[in-house]
Amino acid sequence: MLEEIFVVNRLVLFGITVAIAVIMLIAIRRAKKGKKYFIRRIAGLEAIDEAVGRATEMGRPVHFSPGIASLSEETAAQTLAGLAVLGYVARLTAKYDTDLIVTNRMAEVLPITEEVVRQSYLSEGKPENYNPDNIIFLSDEQFAYAAGCMGIMSREKVAANIMMGAFWAESLIFAEGGFVAGSIQVAGTANTHQLPFFLAACDYCLIGEELFAAGAYLSQDPMQVASIRVQDIGKVAAVLLIIVGTIASTCNWPVIIDFLAKFAS
C-alpha cells in the first residue's frame, strides 16, 4: 500500500513538473514574439534611477552592497538577485559618468562583481571609465565588513546607498551610515527579520520576493519576465488548493480531504 502511494505521488509530482515546464516554454515563446506581461510597479526599483541621478547632480559616488551571503549558502539566491541589480546600477553610473563603489564581504563574490561592473561599462561604450580599485573586498568578518562600509560611506560622502542581497544584524549599521552620509537609500532583502530595520531607516525598500523579481523588472528580458509570469500562475494554483482544502475541511468532504492529504503534500 505504501509503495503504491509512493509511486502515485511520484507520478503526480512528475505531472506537475511537466505542466510547469510546458507553461514556461509557452510563456517564453509568447514573450519572444512580443507579448508584454504585466509586472506591477515596484517603487524601490523605480527609485534607483532617481538615486543615481541625484548622485550625478551632486558629483558624489554611489555605493552598492550585494549583501553578505556567500554563493554556497541557502541565501545565495539573494546574492545573485543583488548582482542582477548591480548590473543595472553599473550601466546607469557608466552612462552618467558617476563613480560607483562596490563593497564585498565574500571573496568568491568579488570577481563576479568586478566582471558585472566591467561588462556594464563595456556595454555602455565606456570601458575606459571602469575603475577596478572601486570594487573592494573588505573582510569576511561580518562586523568588520560593516565597519569598513561605514568608513567608506563617511569618507566618500556617497550620495546613494543601494543594498540588495542577504543581510543580517549589520543591516541597521549600513542604513545608519548611509543616513549620516546624507545618502538616498534603496534596500532589498528576503530576510524578513531584517526588513523592519530597512523599512525604518531607508527611503525605499524591496520586500521579500520583490528582490528576486528585480532582475526581470529592470532588464525586461523576455525569458526572465516569462519566468515571473509562470511563478505567478503557480502561486494562484497554490492559493486555489488552499481554498479548496479549507472548504473541504470545513464541510467535511472526506474524498477531497483524502486526495489532498495523499497527493498534494
Inside any domain, residue 26? no
Indicate whether 148 belongs to any domain: yes
What are residue 187's DSSP bridge partners?
A: 163, 205
From start to end of 174-245, where are the E strands?
184-189, 204-207
Q: Quick check: is 93 in a domain?
A: yes
Count of domains in the chain? 1
Question: Is 134 inside a domain boundary?
Answer: yes
In a domain, 79, yes or no: yes
Residue 27 lies in a domain: no
209 occurs within a structural domain: yes
* Predicted local confidence at residue 265, as pLDDT: 55
d(CA 150, CA 199): 19
Show the cell assigned to 14. Answer: 512528475
The alpha-helical segments, DSSP class H, found in 157-221 are: 171-180, 195-201, 214-219
Residue with cell 531607516: 201
* Model pTM score: 0.87
Check residue 36 and give its pLDDT.
Answer: 81
Is residue 78 included in any domain, yes or no?
A: yes
Determine the structural domain holding residue 91 and report its residue range: 43-219
What is the CATH classification number for the domain harbouring 122? 3.40.50
Mean pLDDT, consecutive 10-residue stretches, the chain (265 aa), reads 60 83 87 82 94 97 97 93 97 97 97 98 96 97 96 97 96 94 96 94 94 91 84 88 88 77 62
Nearest 5°: phi and psi at 157?
50, 55
Strands (E), the chain: 62-67, 100-104, 135-137, 160-166, 184-189, 204-207
